[in-house]
């Protein structure tokens, strides 16, 4: 069963299962590709219902990181790690032990924060290995990558609006954000600055209420009803697989452009998206801002100017993807993968 999942989700170079009972550490590191450079990808901590669920998640996420890096023009490969644990109970000792497992891979995999982990957690990993990014700024790191992920999502949204709606401004557009975690909050702030009308939702009511308290102009929508919200742009910024045939029937938007990874339940769902004349911005292209930031940090000479320049180029990458998709009648994700694969093959 394990090998069936591995074969289904791509030709991974290495998959490592790790377990340290003394600190309740159990998880998986998946290295999808190191053709363009060391595999870089965040560490996700989540109380997965099963080891199978964790394996499928890390395989899909690591593969996506390869395409994300290649499409963004980064000299790095794709990898990911997952820790099967409730982040509410995490400890410094757990992350120090995780760092030792990373160190045993001799630089083939470099980690960073992701869902369930934080900048401070990276500091504890750093005590056991140098192969970690997203460190606190006081330690010379890039800090929280969330603002950069939100920035690239904003840039990608502008590219989608320019292509689909023929507008160079987001002013007065209606955007529905699903998920008000770190990235969702930053994106919402940026969109308000652009003059957008926002509807926001999250499974945790406290998050949307806290945001509305500071920004009373936003509309709160129950997390089960966000798919029914009339909007120009639907922006998934929570977990993956939220766009599927059932939810797609309910969407009332022209564009899907969000920061979440693996937004589509299956690749076939994008066929339905195109049939409905909805423009989809491939998630691994539009949400590359965070990995761009930690990539620049990993080179040892962090520059916010370089990060911003690379993020700005996502606009051009997506405009090219949309144009080819429209001209050739191909799904945008397939076009993006073709571009990424071409760059990887040229390196081989």
Q: Residue 157's closest CA among 7, 58, 10, 259?
A: 259
Contact between 237 and 181 (Cβ < 8 Å): yes
For the segment 183-235, what is each residue's pLDDT rounded down to a tens digit? Answer: 999 999 999 999 999 999 999 999 999 999 999 999 999 999 999 999 999 99
Q: Is the pLDDT of residue 95 over 90?
A: yes
The rounded distance, in Å, linking the Cα atoms of 116 and 13 is 26
Active site residue 80: yes
- Same fold across 2-63+78-139 and 146-288+317-341: yes
Mean pLDDT across the chain, nearest whole number? 95
Strand ranges (DSSP E) for 21-161? 25-33, 39-40, 43-46, 77-84, 109-110
What global pTM score does this model have? 0.90
**pLDDT for position 163:** 98
What's the start-to-end Cα distance of the chain, in Å? 31
For the segment 291-322, what is each residue's pLDDT rounded down to a tens digit? Answer: 999 999 998 888 999 999 999 999 999 999 99
**pLDDT for position 11:** 86
Label the pairing between strands 219-220 and 233-236.
unpaired
The rounded distance, in Å, linking the Cα atoms of 12 and 30 is 7
The three-class DSSP label of residue 132 is strand
Q: Is the pLDDT of residue 137 over 90?
A: no
Express as a percent the part of the chain with pLDDT over 90.
Answer: 89
Q: What is the mean pLDDT of residues 4-26?
A: 87
Which position has the token pair 């694969």? 341
The rounded distance, in Å, linking the Cα atoms of 229 and 254 is 12
Q: Residue 41's closest CA among 65, 17, 58, 60?
A: 65
The answer regarding whether domain 146-288+317-341 maps to CATH 3.30.310.50 reads no
As a CATH number, domain 2-63+78-139 is 3.40.50.10860
**pLDDT for position 71:** 94
Q: Read off φ and ψ for residue 301, nearest 5 degrees.
A: -145, 75
Would you list the domain boundaries of the chain?
A: 2-63+78-139, 146-288+317-341
What is the pLDDT confidence band of residue 2, given thresholds at 50, 70 and 90?
low
Catalytic residue among 26, 68, 80, 90: 80
For the segment 18-67, what is each residue's pLDDT rounded down to a tens digit? Answer: 999 999 999 999 999 999 999 999 999 999 999 999 999 999 999 999 99
């Amino acid at each position: 069963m394990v090998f069936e999942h591995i074969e289904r989700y791509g030709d991974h170079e290495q998959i490592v299962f790790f377990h340290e009972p003394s600190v309740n550490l159990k998880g998986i590191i998946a290295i999808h590709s190191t053709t363009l450079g060391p595999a870089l990808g965040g560490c996700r901590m989540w109380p997965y219902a099963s080891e199978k669920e964790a394996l499928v998640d890390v395989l899909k996420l690591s593969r996506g990181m390869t395409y994300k890096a290649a499409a963004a023009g980064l000299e790095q490969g794709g990898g990911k790690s997952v820790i099967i644990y409730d982040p509410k109970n995490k400890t410094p000792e757990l992350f120090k032990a995780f760092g030792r497992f990373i160190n045993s891979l001799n630089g083939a995999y470099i980690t960073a924060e992701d869902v369930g982990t934080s900048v401070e957690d990276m500091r504890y990993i750093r005590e056991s290995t140098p192969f970690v990014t997203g460190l606190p700024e006081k330690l010379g790191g890039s800090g929280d990558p969330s603002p950069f992920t939100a920035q690239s999502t904003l840039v990608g949204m502008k590219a989608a609006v320019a292509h689909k709606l023929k507008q160079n401004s987001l002013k007065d557009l209606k955007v529905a954000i699903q998920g008000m975690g770190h990235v969702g909050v930053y994106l919402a702030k940026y969109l308000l600055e652009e003059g957008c009308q926002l509807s926001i939702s999250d499974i945790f009511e406290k998050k949307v209420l806290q945001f509305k308290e500071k920004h009373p102009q936003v509309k709160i929508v129950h997390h089960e009803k966000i798919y029914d919200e009339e909007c120009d742009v639907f922006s998934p910024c929570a977990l993956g697989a939220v766009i599927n045939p059932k939810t797609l029937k309910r969407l009332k938007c022209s564009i899907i452009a969000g920061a979440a990874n693996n937004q589509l339940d299956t690749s076939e769902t994008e066929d339905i998206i195109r049939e409905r004349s909805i423009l989809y911005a491939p998630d691994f292209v539009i949400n590359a801002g965070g990995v761009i930031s930690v990539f620049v940090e990993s080179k040892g000479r962090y520059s916010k100017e370089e990060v911003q320049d690379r993020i700005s180029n996502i606009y051009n990458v997506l405009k090219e993807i949309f144009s080819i998709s429209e001209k050739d009648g191909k799904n945008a994700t397939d076009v993006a993968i073709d571009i990424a694969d071409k760059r990887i093959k040229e390196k081989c």
